Amino acid sequence: MRLKAVLESATRGGLDGSEPLLSFNPFIFHIPPAPQPARINVPPVTPHELILLADAMPDYTRLSVFLSTLVGGLRCGELCGLQVQDIDLNRQILHVRRSVNRGDTDRGELHFGKTKTESSIRNVHIPDTLIPLIRQHLSDYCDLTRPDSPVFVPKRAKIMSQTTLDGQFAKARLKAGRPDLTFQALRASHATLLMIQGGTLREVMNQLGHVSEKVAIRYYQLTVASHQSQVVDKLAESFISDMASTRSRESQTALMHCRDA
């Protein structure tokens, strides 16, 4: 697409009045539409499925599926990059400040690095119901004397790798009967369920760290058939109810006119 645009601009005169470089655009190939993202057809995770996922995860990483689904839609790398200092239970804020990376070519040793984008650095609310679960996890598995202690401490390394956490989740999703789920799907579930609960698009974008409405809608707003049916039912019920009330008032008015006559 960019090559076609570059060549197309070469067929037009320059801003300084210079002649076009080309008389026609030689790019004649058809540009196919953007591929349909696979996860838009993945239904959001249900409360029962989330419990099954959590039970199937190792105890020291079980919290990850709750954070990804219910707190900010954290990516796998963001989960691995969480440190004790990022969790403020008193103010109920979780700070997303870093991700775990291997390097520009995805090689080398694991290290705490930048998030995917600048907008991914964000503060998200920790729900009341998750505070006991998070506090217990920090007490059981983290070194609370060190602010930079990882929230998810690996068994044989200093930093939890995305490969390890994603591998654990791959096994858990099979046991939960949802082989189609990924951490990205949990992230999309978070966005969709927020909207269903009344969250605005701007609030969802803030939760996930998005700056593009198109990305938020195209990749993270899933269609929930049951919810869509409920909305349609409510719309029809509202109209039919109003129509019935209107007809009732019209009938009463007509009856009063007949009596007066």
Please spell the DSSP secondary structure of 174-226, one letter per residue.
Answer: HHTT-TT--HHHHHHHHHHHHHHTT--HHHHHHHHT---HHHHHHHH----HH
How many structural domains does the chain have? 1
Tell whether 244 is covered by a domain: no
Tell whether 191 is covered by a domain: yes
Do residues 178 and 45 lie in contact, with contact meaning Cβ atoms separated by under 8 Å?
yes
Residue 110: half-sphere exposure toward Cβ, Cα within 13 Å? 16
**CATH number assigned to the domain comprising residue 134:** 1.10.443.10
> How buried is 107 (Cβ within 10 angstroms: 0-12 exposed, 13-18 middle, 19+ buried)?
exposed
Average pLDDT, the chain: 85
Scored b (16 or more CB within 10 A) or e, 9-47 reads: eeeeeeeeeeeeeeeeeeeeeeeeeeeeeebeebbbbee
Do residues 99 and 117 lie in contact, with contact meaning Cβ atoms separated by under 8 Å?
no
- Token output for 225: 């058939």
Of the ranges 10-14, 18-22, 163-167, the best mean pLDDT one: 163-167
Rounded to whole angstroms, how far apart are CA atoms 60 and 54? Answer: 11
Query: pLDDT grade, residue 255 (50/70/90)?
Result: low
Tell whether 52 is covered by a domain: yes
Map residue 82 onto helix, strand or coil: coil
124-135 average pLDDT score = 94
Shortest CA distance to 195 belongs to which of 236, 223, 166, 234? 223
Do residues 74 and 178 lie in contact, with contact meaning Cβ atoms separated by under 8 Å?
no
Tell whether 123 is covered by a domain: yes
pTM over 0.85: no
Lowest-pLDDT range, 113-127, 157-171, 193-207?
193-207
Tell whether 251 is covered by a domain: no
- Token output for 78: 């963001």
Place of tokens 């690996």: 154
Tell whether 54 is covered by a domain: yes
Do residues 172 and 65 lie in contact, with contact meaning Cβ atoms separated by under 8 Å?
yes
Q: Over the stretch 130-183, which tens digit does the pLDDT of each residue have?
A: 999 999 999 999 999 999 999 999 998 899 999 999 999 999 999 999 999 999
> How buried is 81 (Cβ within 10 angstroms: 0-12 exposed, 13-18 middle, 19+ buried)?
buried
User: Taking the C-alpha atoms of 237, 242, 248 and 252 in order, what is their torsion angle to the nearest 10 degrees?
Assistant: 170
Q: What is the pLDDT of residue 130?
A: 93
Query: pLDDT grade, residue 37 (50/70/90)?
Result: low
Give me the domain span that covers residue 94: 39-220
Tell whether 113 is covered by a domain: yes
Tell whether 258 is covered by a domain: no
